[in-house]
A and B are shown apart, each in its own frame.
Chain A
Amino acid sequence: MKLYCLSGHPTLPCNVLKFKSTTIMLDCGLDMTSTLNFLPLPLVQSPRLSNLPGWSLKDGNAFLDKELKECSGHVFVDSVPEFCLPETELIDLSTVDVILISNYHCMMALPYITEHTGFTGTVYATEPTVQIGRLLMEELVNFIERVPKAQSASLWKNKDIQRLLPSPLKDAVEVSTWRRCYTMQEVNSALSKIQLVGYSQKIELFGAVQVTPLSSGYALGSSNWIIQSHYEKVSYVSGSSLLTTHPQPMDQASLKNSDVLILTGLTQIPTANPDGMVGEFCSNLALTVRNGGNVLVPCYPSGVIYDLLECLYQYIDSAGLSNIPFYFISPVANSSLEFSQIFAEWLCHNKQTKVYLPEPPFPHAELIQTNKLKHYPSLHGDFSSDFRQPCVVFTGHPSLRFGDVVHFMELWGKSSLNTVIFTEPDFSYLEALAPYQPLAMKCIYCPIDTRLNFIQVSKLLKEVQPLHVVCPEQYTQPPPAQSHRMDLMIDCQPPAMSYRRAEVLALPFKRRYEKIEIMPELADALVPMEIKPGISLATVSAVLHTKDNKHVLQPPPRPTQPTGGKKRKRASDDIPDCKVLKPLLSGSIPVEQFVQTLEKHGFSDIKVEDTAKGHIVLLQEAETLIQIEEDSTHIICDNDEVLRVRLRDLVLKFLQKF
């Protein structure tokens, strides 16, 4: 059993598990932090961005000034943003049989895998994962395609040139494999390969293993996966949450008794408590709006935004913000808000019961109805006529490199009355803000990450008790900035095995058993013999039939009656030789009794020697030696077949036959 690690990002995993005869890809996350190295794509021509000076080497050489621009001491690539793909060279991806998706954030690299590697298998995911994943991809494609950029920089990627660049460009990994965003066509084609599954549904893969998605409590339709054969169980835990937010709670019980538990997608901000952060979010929002400023919340179109809107729903009246408009701008805003209301079966119990009243499970329906929350596909069109300040705007993309958020950063960045509040934990907010410096706007960092923290992980591991834990290397040591916080790492026994990008792990357990079925008529013919109390044995002669990874013992064909020449010959071709079987022996020979028996049968001058493995019985007179060991007995005598047979029969008296 091997694990191929194709991604180094602990929350955007992409691993391939080889288990029995199957090759299973676990998630295919797309590391979008690479886009932070690029200049933002403004929706409206930005004089500031287009007038940034080109970057030149220390010696004044300016051959890169078309590709690289400088802003407040940072250098950015002036080109269409590109993404860092999972490793494609470590394993032939055309051999991947299935891809299991755990949540919509972890499928963003899917089109790259399914469309460009020769992949011919099936992708499994839950319905909300697919639908919301589609929205995220659609939004991404839309954000990038609607601002066509003529230039595509590639000169800087040259290894010799990259060395000369300032950090972080200099340290960016595998820039040669960075790719532009996929197209909508590729998205559609990739999504068409997905087969929908429900929680606890058992899916057979070639008869060899069974995979089952379980609720992971993190997002709508998010799942952990169990991959099991008859005698082995691997759990894949990715992006799980024990907090009571909108999704169905996490199913922990089914993870018990795993041989291996692969643990990814823990919280990225282990020191921030989501509850405190939500409070912080509300306080800062109110503070800004009360002072007449605007609030910008760069976010994904689904996920935490539902919880934030719910909190605001309860908060705005009490904070006297009822007259403040809330805008949600995304090409998929409408679909996201509506989808959330129809996936009732994937929601937590409280929200499920609302559906029977019937009421919309999320209160943002009421916010929309009362015109407090308005949504627009983009800032063009209706939005510009409705726009009223001060206001709160939720819009993407959280990297601040593309999408409508770029426009608001340019628009509001100059006033210290306004605030940008970062709630998504995926991007470093300081890096995200770098191309907008100098910035007068206030910046608040309230990362809300509901995924498991280390305390919860340690409780979970105590509860489910896996034999081995495998996790990204980042989880096996405290974060570099807080090296004394021993509590910010996975602490389990035996210590967790860690992996990093482009590594292949041999998972530490051996398969010992395989399940074989016995046909009923064959089973009928068995005659078990009790050899120890409680243990019975039976010999069986049968034909082992193996097909689709299923093994069946079938009765052996009856020995055919010798008939005519041709026919007989053909029969012997088809049927394997069935020799007459000698009985099997079992038991052990008690030396003292054996010696007594020998004496009774007239042997004398018997000597017994102890050896490392058993005993040697010496019949000096007969010049014969009987070696008795745990699993073998040898009679060594000099060409006296009669004596040998006599002795053999005496030995056999002590053994059971069947």
Chain B
Amino acid sequence: MDPECSQLLPALCAVLADPRQPVADDTCLEKLLDWFKTITKAGSSLLLLQENPCLVELLCHVLKPQDLSSRVLSFSLRLAGVFAAQEDCFQYLQQGELLPRLFGEPGPLGGAAWTAPSVRSGWIQGLRSLAQHPSALHFLADCGAVDTIFSLQGDSSLFVASAAGQLLVHILGLSMQGLAEGHPSLQAGDWPVCAQKIVGHIEESLHSTAVPQITQALNVLTTTFGHCHDPWTQVLWVRLSPLVGSLLEKDPVPAAHSLVDLLLSVARSPGLSSSSCGLWETLAQTLNHLSPTQAGPLALGILKLQDCPQVLRAQAFVILLQPLACVLKATGQDPGPSGVLDSATGDSLTVDVLLSSKAACVGLLCRTLAHLELLQPLPQRPCPWPQEPLLGAAVTLLQLCRGSASPASDVGRHLCALLLGCVRVQRAALDFLGTLSQGTGPQELVTEVFAVLLEYLRSPDSSPTVLKKAFQATFRWLLSSPKTPGCCDLEPHALLVLRELLPVLQKRLCSPCWEVRDSGLEFLTQMTRHWGGQAGFRHALLASEVPKLTEQLLRDPESYVRASAVTVMGQLSSQGLHVTPVSPEHPGGQQKSLLVELLHILSTDSEGFPRRAVMQVFTQWLRDHHADVAGDTEQFMARVLQVASQDLDWEVRAQGLELALVFLEQTLGQFHSHCPYAVTPPVAAPAGSLAQALQPLCRVRLFEFAFRALFDCDRPVAQKSCDLLLFLRAKTASSSGSLEESRSGPDVASVEAALQRWQAGDQGQPLGDLEPEVVLAVLRSVDLEGLRGALAEGSDHMEKSPQSLLQDMLATVGVLGENEADCY
């Protein structure tokens, strides 16, 4: 601890111990505790306490009967735990009987303060920190803490209850430590007293008829198997598994969710050889006993396991597929030749759940779809994967939700009535359908997929979120449609779909709902990105009204839509898909080019999103040598940088620097070719060429923009500018000798003076025209590395120091007199 902090500490402890000066801010105490944790991690706690007796005094003081705030009490308990984590310090505190007084009966445990959840939580966390060594175990046994922890498992505060469970797991693990290493086959009867006590408590809870108690026991076990993989855990499981198994005999199975978690935790535990302890049998039994809603997560968990018997996997998969199999059966469809869904049909229990209520039906279907979606991309997904029936099921569900399926059975009609217009199922099924595009399907089924997607895209009843998902799924299916070898254009069938899709897109771009217009534009962006260069796509797109409508959306009243329209237009233009329309107002008149239009948006749009989008488009255009830009790059750069430098949105300014960097690279790239494939090795540049190379940068006033950004009030902008200038300096360093520097010229001085004023916050004065020599000189004189270091430290690095923290805390209670510290 630095001496400044040591000096402040006694005053702070006095403040904390004084009930008349309440600590208003919890976070200060948390920071303080974090600080102490860092110190004790790095050095001896004992030494710390000996050097700062005020700390022990504080711990003693809080025990006095007084009206101390629960925050400070909780803090003290946790602090004591942090110190006592080191065994020597633990002994030191024990000498004063301080620990039993803090954590035992005489402490807050028996007092009125115990009613505050934060105190109970502090007590648990204190013990959690303290319990690191064998002495701690004895202490816990002596002060009867374990019984208190048992009772806290059912605490009214969820945080306290959960922490109590975690603490039990920790104590169990600690008490088994050391012992277990030597005796891997240790029988439970020979276990340490403390461990036996905890295990006994768990057994008792599992015998209980009260569901909350069973849940607590299961949760403790889940955490144990999840965190500890020592051999003793296997003994524990062998001992407890009959009890866990007996839970399955009850109807309904109590605490099913926790039971599923436990079984999966055990199954995942590397410490257990699953085959030897009957786990697979228990899992199979559980799958059979749980209701369809509860069995889903277990089935998914089993299927995700790396090594698991094939029979069990098959059973789990059948359970997982059951709801979809019911849907297929109810709508009179063949569940497919693969046989997986075949064996899943006919579970009347699942049908009962599906038909019991709309909420149950929707819940079960959405969960099933989500589980299958998770499973699909995994390497251990079941094989063979029933792609066809799953596709069929997803399509059927979507049809049921729209009322376009015509089920023949009563169950099917009932399902149809429950699912009609259900947005949740529509969204889940569309997501799932999109995932299924990873696989293939027979052509007629794929045709059906596109048909249902088009139906959704066309339907006036599709909600904006459903439409968005329908667009996404359509794109994924278009992507996955089989390609002709050697050609990345859309295959003929996909082109047919596209021709039907474009009129729908056209209409959606005119939707009164901005979310719909926006998703339409996003979809168009994705399509153009992938197929913009392909003849089939280009032809279809140019034959439609879509490009024209998109351009009109540049003037949309909603800023998100304008931003998306900017992105699409930028891309269309890059791909040569932007056709300048003939305006009805000025037939044959001069048309504004897209560049002018985008510049207009950049300089006048009131919202940040469209302006950011414009900057991104410009950057991309510059990278791609877009014709509009390449014509007169300097004029373009000068104009854009001028507008961007005045933008109020820091992201626009940052993007301006990105643009500047591209320009810089391109300009200097001609001067210094780093192309590894260059035929001729780089030759030393003639003396004048660096200055020449820098000339365009000066003409577009790139340096003024960059220097100004260096002192930008938004840190990311300043950092970016710093990086840019450092890059430039490195680039020019090699040839600096050849350029005559004007380190002491009058221009340099005036620039440096201007920079100083800017740094001081006066940004008014422009730099005027700069010469390359001056720029280079200034570049060298400014401490860019120092600036970068300062910026990297973060704006609050001063305020983050422990000294500052202590000062702040003291200042808030007025001990330091005036409020000197900036408590930002």
Interface residues of A, Cβ cutoff 8 Å to B: 271-273, 276-280, 282-284, 286-287, 290-292, 311, 314-315, 317-320, 446, 482, 484-487
Contacts and interface: CB of A to CB of B under 8 A. Distances in A.
Interface stretch (B213-221, B503-511, B689-697): B503-511
Contacts of B557: 317-318
Nearest to B514: A318
Given A287-B507, A318-B512, A292 B584 contact: yes
Interface string B413-452: 1001100100000000000000000000000000000000
Contacts of B510: 282-284, 286-287, 290, 319
Q: Which 4 A-B pairs have the closest CB atoms?
A: A276-B460, A286-B510, A280-B460, A276-B461
Nearest to A488: B403
Given A273-B461, A291-B548, A486-B413, 13 more contacts: A272-B461, A273-B460, A278-B512, A279-B513, A283-B511, A286-B510, A287-B507, A290-B548, A319-B510, A482-B406, A484-B416, A485-B403, A487-B403
Contacts of B462: 276
A411 B558 CA distance: 36
Nearest to B418: A487
Interface string B536-565: 000000000100110010011110000000
Contacts of A314: 512
Contacts of A315: 512
A598 B459 CA distance: 89
B558 A318 contact: yes
B556 A318 contact: yes
Contacts of A271: 403
A320 B552 contact: yes
9 contacts: A278-B512, A279-B511, A279-B516, A280-B507, A283-B510, A287-B507, A290-B545, A292-B584, A487-B417
Contacts, number: 73
Given A318-B512, A318-B556, A484 B506 contact: no
Which of A280, A283, A318 gathers the greatest number of chain B CB atoms within 10 Å? Answer: A283
B407 interface: yes
Nearest to B406: A484
Interface string B287-321: 00000000000000000000000000000000000
B512 A282 contact: yes
B460 A484 contact: no
Contacts of A282: 510-512
B460 A272 contact: yes
Given A276-B459, A318-B557, A290 B512 contact: no
B505 to A, nearest CB: 11
Contacts of B584: 292
A485 B417 CA distance: 8
Contacts of A484: 406-408, 413, 416
Contacts of A485: 403, 416
Contact of B460 (A279, A320, A486, A487): A279
Contacts of B552: 290, 320
A267 to B, nearest CB: 14
A272 B460 CA distance: 8
Contacts of A291: 545, 548
A268 to B, nearest CB: 16
A380 to B, nearest CB: 28
Contact of B506 (A277, A287, A317, A319): A287
Looking at chain B's contact residues, the main secondary structure is loop
A317 B558 CA distance: 11
Interface in B512-530: 512-514, 516
Which of A278, A279, A317, A485 gathers the greatest number of chain B CB atoms within 10 Å? Answer: A279
Nearest to A277: B460
Contacts of B512: 278-279, 282-283, 311, 314-315, 318-319
Contacts of A318: 512, 514, 556-558
A487 B511 contact: no
Contacts of B514: 318
Contacts of B548: 290-291
Contacts of B511: 279, 282-283
Interface string B382-413: 00000000000000000000010011100001
Contacts of B516: 279
A279 B508 CA distance: 10
A627 B403 CA distance: 70
Nearest to B414: A486
A432 B652 CA distance: 56
A283 B552 CA distance: 14
Contacts of A486: 413, 416-417
B583 to A, nearest CB: 11
A485 to B, nearest CB: 6
A271 B416 CA distance: 14
A214 to B, nearest CB: 29
Contacts of B459: 276
Nearest to A286: B510
Contacts of A284: 507, 510
A283 B507 contact: yes
A320 B552 CA distance: 8
Contacts of B420: 487
Contacts of B413: 484, 486
A292 B582 CA distance: 11
B507 to A, nearest CB: 5
Contacts of B507: 280, 283-284, 287
A267 B516 CA distance: 27
Contacts of B408: 484
B330 to A, nearest CB: 12
Nearest to B417: A487
A200 B241 CA distance: 71
B717 to A, nearest CB: 33
A271 B407 CA distance: 17
Nearest to A311: B512
B332 to A, nearest CB: 11
Which of A277, A280, A292, A314 gathers the greatest number of chain B CB atoms within 10 Å? Answer: A280
Nearest to A270: B403
Interface in B760-781: none
Nearest to A487: B417
Interface in B67-106: none
A271 B404 CA distance: 10
B555 A487 contact: no
Which of B511, B555, B558 gathers the greatest number of chain A CB atoms within 10 Å? Answer: B511
A280 B459 CA distance: 9
Contacts of A287: 506-507, 510, 545, 549
Contacts of A272: 460-461
Nearest to B408: A484
Interface string B476-518: 0000000000000000000000000000001110111110100
Contacts of B407: 484
B542 to A, nearest CB: 15
A414 B507 CA distance: 22
A273 B516 CA distance: 17
Contacts of A482: 403, 406
Interface string B448-471: 000000000001111000000000
A415 to B, nearest CB: 15
Contacts of A279: 460, 511-513, 516
A612 B513 CA distance: 78
Given A276-B459, A320-B555, A485-B403, A283 B508 contact: yes
Nearest to B464: A279
B501 to A, nearest CB: 15
B554 to A, nearest CB: 10
B502 to A, nearest CB: 12
B409 to A, nearest CB: 10
Nearest to A314: B512
Nearest to A289: B510
A311 B512 CA distance: 9
Nearest to A491: B417
B416 A487 contact: yes
Nearest to B407: A484
A551 B508 CA distance: 68
